[in-house]
Amino acid sequence: MPELPEVLTISRDLKKEIKDKEITAVNTLRDYKLLNEDLFNRYVVGSVVEDVVNVAKLITIPLSSGYYIATHLNMTGRLLWNKDDGYSRVVLTFDGGDKLHFSSVRLFEYFEVWDQNKINSYKEKYGKEILDSSLKLSEFISAMKKSNTYIKNNLLNQKLVSGIGNIYANDGLYMSKIHPKRKSHSISDEEFSKLLENLKIIIKEGLAHRGSTIDRYTDLYGNPGSHQDYFRVYGKKGEKCVVCGNPISFEKIQGRGTYFCSTCQSLESSGAQKSLF
């Protein structure tokens, strides 16, 4: 957390606020020691923001200096516009006086200066993003079948296809009537086609709802998202499936909480059933 819809929500708002603006100062708060101030003073202060671009869940800010600000919000991070939530660690000041706060509670998050080589190296670790218009069905199927493990594991493997987080994997599998412990090689091309379609649908829904606020996520302006009000199965252990009425099951798969309907998402499913969604 946050996942792709949350990262895209923040990135798009941030781009509207800071593109073409000069960064005039960088300051640390609350005795924050994880910032390399020398790099920020050399390559950030005095630079102009050229864009805001995400690489999977990494937010990057290309600068006129040729360097980038790279920030990952991990579990407790926030980027906030003109707002200190009590956990701000770094503040960028822009011409005109506006301020961008990097907030972190547990300090697992980072806010760093990267060069082009480091950005390129990071990109090489990730597959095409799920919303990338160039991602073909054949590429998605090939990526998912590289390892004949549980389909849920492959969906969360960012090296195969990036941008599918735990929330959206749960709901995408439910919409597609695929059990999360189905082996990837047992899934038909027709099922994969439906799965890709449904994953794109729910991630776009998450974007429209400005993300899911479960723990600490807020948008750039400190406002919560509302997609948590639209979850299909995620977080609904024991509640009735809206299709068959049976209780939603829960188990941990590779340490990640997994929600599914054991009736609608049968392990023995052949993909021959007509979609209910």
Integer Cα distance of 113 and 68 in angstroms: 6
Q: Is 205 tagged catalytic?
A: no
Residues 101/87, Cβ–Cβ less than 8 Å: no
Q: Which of 3, 6, 109, 191 is catalytic?
A: 3
Q: Name which of 187, 180, 123, 120 is nearest 150 in CA terms.
A: 180
Helix locations, the chain, DSSP H = 4-18, 37-43, 116-123, 137-144, 151-156, 166-175, 189-208
Q: State which H helix or E strand residue 267 sits in.
A: none
Q: Is 109 tagged catalytic?
A: no
Strand order in the sheet with 23-28: 23-28, 88-94, 99-103, 78-81
Integer Cα distance of 90 and 113 in angstroms: 13
Residues 232/175, Cβ–Cβ less than 8 Å: yes
Q: Which of 5, 57, 62, 210 is catalytic?
A: 57
Integer Cα distance of 138 and 142 in angstroms: 6
Q: Is 256 tagged catalytic?
A: yes
What are the tokens at 127? 């597959």
Place of tokens 């770094």: 90
What are the tokens at 89? 């660690």
Q: Which of 42, 83, 200, 256 is catalytic?
A: 256
Integer Cα distance of 31 and 33 in angstroms: 6
Q: Which of 2, 5, 62, 180 is catalytic?
A: 2
∠ CA 101-102-107, nearest 5°, is 150
Residues 149/183, Cβ–Cβ less than 8 Å: yes
Q: Is 78 tagged catalytic?
A: no
Residues involved in catalysis: 2-3, 57, 256
